Amino acid sequence: MLPLIVLRRLDAVLEPTKKAVLEAKAKYEAMGLEGDAFEKAIAKVAIGGERQQSLYNLSEFTFQKLLEDSEGIADNLRDYINKFSPLARDIFEKFEFDNEIQKLDEANRLFEVMKAIASPEVDLSPGKLSNLQMGYLFEELVRKFNEQANEEAGDHFTPREVIRLMVNLVFCNEQDIFKQGIYRTVYDPTAGTGGMLSVAEEYIKKQNPEANLGLFGQEYNPESYAICCSDLLIKDEPINNLVYGDTLGIKNAKSKSNNFLPRDGHPDKQFHYMFANPPFGVEWKPEEDFVKDEYDNLGFKGRFGAGVPRINDGSLLFLQHMISKMHPSPEVGGDGSRIAIVFNGSPLFTGDAGSGESNIRRWIIENDWLDAVIALPDQMFYNTGIFTYIWLVTNKKAAHRQGKVQLIDGTHHFLKMKKSLGNKRNELSPEHIAELVRLYGDFEQNGLSEVKSDGQIEKQICSKIFDNREFGFLKITVERSLRLNFQVNEDRLARLSEQKAFQDLATSKKRKDAQVQQLEMEMGKSLQNQILDALRCLDGDACICPVLSLYGI
């Protein structure tokens, strides 16, 4: 369904200029035009105006014409796809769509599926659906299909209202972004379907249409990568800035050219604004060799100098990766950077002092990069009902925020959805987003916020501010002998009678032989009385048990 929806969208975008493109094709071929010049000229006709990215289709077919030949629909569909511009063809290669065409054709279902997708009721034209709405459509399809396959849909996307909150928090009190003609870069190392990049671009362009933006990202899931590329292609954003491959590095990830995919797709770049939702609680065993090799050999010259977390959750590796891409701080003449990243509770609470997680947190706080942590309500994500947290990390703190960390409780700021989507039953309204951003911007100790409780609106403390040093701790192990005292009195003898081991002395396991059972019970009671009599003969003063002390207990 995903590649078919992308194909239908591209067809709808290009359909109005189809005739003009075919005429231009014949004209430019007769002129001997070829290569990049030919692509640029055709793309200009296909979409209209100058474009950074080539998007066109040179096939005689459209979706409607494909239906005119039911017998040859598989070959015609392949011809249609193969005559897209190279960037668009690469999208369908990532989907491995040719395999699906073959399966559907062999099952005599391809024509019926194409007929349904080409129906006038499925109108995916730009006039009917904006790019933002197409993003929602892609995300809903990804959620549904991954839910049925019992996969982790959270690997692919984040609810749009959570992204909007992250974007609003990152750009709160940012003044440079609103300067005319400013150039700024936005990066997502776990780009998914491109939601964070799209919402960040939408926010900046709405506030400052003259801003020049560079959108960068990396994504290891081929379907998500293809969806993100199609979105960027239609919007004429540079696709080359989106890299296909595992950000951390994976041994067996190979491209079609059999070259190892890059670990860091943008190794020499730094970015002004960064957003990410790395997978929750996913082990990084496949990337372990690459990560530990970089940690051992490069230290802080690499991405993971502060340490590596335990193998069952690699979230903090992504944060270290992003920190390595921050611009130098304004204090040393740089632009500085701001980061928003979504975590579950593990990066906050896991790991004793001296562990990998603790050392990473210590490194971030001691460098005064942790700006704020915002706790979100539970049941916000499609594939999990757990509580999540937005970390704001920056090397350009305002003067009044330096040396401080703000904690914001947003767990009461939500609306119940009329209909749940997977595990997602709660959502943030625009008012909730505005209130959480206000709490962050006000930066007040014991900051109050209005929340609903049992239908009543009341004020609650939702903002706390701490010094960096208040998060420091040491784990000290104190070893000493456990010294037990020994004393005989009636209270202790009564407690002895309640002990199961003492009571078992007067029981028997001989259930089938009543005589033997009775004999064993009588012998047990006799032993109990002997023990009690012997204890009552002892001195009643408390003393340290020498045998227990000898063995350190």
Non-local (6+) Cβ contacts of 257 within 8 A are: none
pLDDT of residue 543: 64
> Which pLDDT band holds residue 444 (cuts at 50, 70, 90)?
very high
> Which pLDDT band holds residue 550 (cuts at 50, 70, 90)?
very low
How many separate domains does the chain show?
3
pLDDT of residue 544: 58
Residue 460, in any domain of the structure = no
Same domain (yes/no): 176, 209: yes
Same domain (yes/no): 353, 493: no
Same domain (yes/no): 108, 173: no
Same domain (yes/no): 177, 278: yes
Residues of the chain by 3-state class (helix, strand, coil), percent to 5 = 45, 15, 40
> Which pLDDT band holds residue 217 (cuts at 50, 70, 90)?
very high
> Which pLDDT band holds residue 224 (cuts at 50, 70, 90)?
confident
| Residue range 454-480, pLDDT digits in tens | 556 788 899 999 999 999 888 888 887
- Please determine, for residue 149, whether its predicted confidence score (pLDDT) is greater than 70: no
| Residue range 153-184, pLDDT digits in tens | 445 568 889 999 999 999 998 988 888 889 99
Same domain (yes/no): 56, 160: no
Rank 125-139, 256-270, 297-311 by mean pLDDT and report only the highest: 297-311
8-state DSSP, 375 = E
> Residue 222: in which H helix or E strand, if any?
helix 222-234
Same domain (yes/no): 396, 514: no
Same domain (yes/no): 287, 371: yes
Residue 90, in any domain of the structure = yes
- CA 393/CA 326 separation, integer angstroms: 10
Same domain (yes/no): 103, 239: no
* Among 96-105, 332-341, 389-398, the least confident range: 96-105
Residue 419, in any domain of the structure = no
Three-state helix/strand/coil letters over 70-135: CCCHHHHHHHHHHCECHHHHHHHHHCCHHHHHHHHHHCCCHHHHHHHHCCCCCCCCCCCCCHHHHH
Q: Which of 370, 403, 436 is the last residue of a domain?
A: 403
Q: Which of 344, 378, 403 is the last residue of a domain?
A: 403
Residue 444, in any domain of the structure = no
pLDDT of residue 146: 57
Same domain (yes/no): 248, 305: yes
- Please determine, for residue 254, whether its predicted confidence score (pLDDT) is greater than 70: no
Residue 410, in any domain of the structure = no
Q: Which domain holds residue 387?
A: 144-403
Residue 455, in any domain of the structure = no
The Cα-based distances of 277 to 114, 267, 281, 342 in angstroms read 35, 20, 12, 5
Per-residue burial over 441-455, b if 16 or more Cβ lie within 10 Å, else e, is eebeeebebebeeee
Same domain (yes/no): 109, 205: no
Average pLDDT, stretch 48-73?
81
- The beta-strand segments (E) located in 110-262 are 183-188, 212-219, 242-244
Using a pLDDT cut of 70, give the percent of the chain over it. Answer: 90
- Please determine, for residue 42, whether its predicted confidence score (pLDDT) is greater than 70: yes
Mean pLDDT score of the chain: 85
Q: Which of 358, 375, 403 is the last residue of a domain?
A: 403
- Please determine, for residue 409, whether its predicted confidence score (pLDDT) is greater than 90: yes
- CA 196/CA 278 separation, integer angstroms: 12
